[in-house]
């Protein structure tokens, strides 16, 4: 990835870090007296989750789900293909699902239903980016960093054909 020019970043490294401090502060307050398990959706949530959890003032467990979302439903009728499920038992635990972006909402809607069936004490959703105009299912994130228009973005975990995830900004 040499010589790539994304022009002006949509969100700079500093803007992203400031926003994460804000969200981290809210999460720390909201879960001050609760046992929290943060569940990151790989691969996109990797950097966001890493920075967000390190901004918290409370102790937290972490786990991961690896899945891919397809525009068309797979053979099994699922819009989301699970590549690897989480390890922790979430029954009666407070769960925060962390994703890079909510677009149509289909992925998070699917994961929420899957996790709710396991009987957590609570389940909230945290995303860095929110393309709210694109929603196909009625769902909102409990914590959302930035609302963005319907443009394809990369960087800070988000990819285009598996590239550009390692950019420190969103472009
Ligand atoms: P949803 O199920 O439509 O909400 O899609 C969510 C998934 O689509 C995210 O986890 C991303 O992996 C991917 N996605 C949606 N919009 C973008 C984008 O602008 N850039 C990179 N990935 C995106
Ligand atoms: Mg993703």
- Cβ–ligand 1 distance for 107 under 6 Å, the answer yes
Q: Are 130 and 151 in contact (CB under 8 A)?
A: no
Q: 2 pLDDT exceeds 70?
A: no
- Res. 78 pLDDT band, cuts 50 70 90: confident
User: Is the minimum distance from the CB of 127 to ligand 1 under 6 angstroms?
Assistant: no
Residue 69, pLDDT above cutoff 90 = no
Give the tens place of pLDDT for each residue, 90-103. Answer: 999 999 999 999 99
Ligand 1 contact, 141 CB (< 6 A): no
With beta carbons less than 8 A apart as the criterion, state whether 62 and 96 touch: no
Question: What pLDDT is recorded for position 129?
Answer: 98
Q: Which residues surround ligand 2, an ion (CB under 5 A)?
A: 44
Among 51, 100, 103, 130, the one annotated catalytic: 103
- 124's enclosing H/E stretch is strand 122-130
CA-to-CA separations, 168 to 51, 71, 121, 163, 165, in angstroms, rounded: 12, 27, 34, 13, 8
Atom of ligand 1 nearest to the CA of 160: 21
Q: Which pLDDT belongs to residue 44?
A: 98
Give me the pLDDT at residue 141, please: 98
Task: Tell me, yes or no, if 103 is annotated catalytic.
Answer: yes
Q: Is the Cα torsion angle 135, 81, 70, 163 positive or negative in sign?
A: positive
């Amino acid at each position: 990835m040499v010589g790539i020019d994304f022009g002006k970043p949509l969100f700079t490294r500093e803007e992203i870090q400031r926003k994460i401090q804000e969200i981290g502060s809210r999460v720390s307050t909201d879960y001050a007296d609760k046992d929290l398990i943060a569940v990151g959706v790989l691969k996109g949530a990797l950097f966001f989750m890493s920075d967000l959890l390190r901004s918290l003032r409370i102790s937290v467990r972490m786990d991961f789900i690896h899945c891919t979302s397809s525009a068309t439903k797979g053979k099994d009728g699922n819009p989301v293909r699970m590549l690897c499920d989480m390890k922790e038992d979430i029954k009666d635990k407070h769960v925060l699902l962390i994703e890079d972006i909510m677009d149509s909402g289909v992925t998070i809607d699917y994961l929420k239903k899957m996790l709710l069936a396991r009987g957590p004490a609570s389940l909230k959703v945290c995303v860095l980016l929110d393309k709210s105009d694109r929603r196909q299912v009625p769902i909102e994130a409990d914590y959302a960093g930035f609302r963005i228009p319907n443009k394809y973005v990369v960087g800070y975990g988000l990819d285009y054909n598996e590239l550009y995830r390692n950019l420190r900004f969103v472009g």
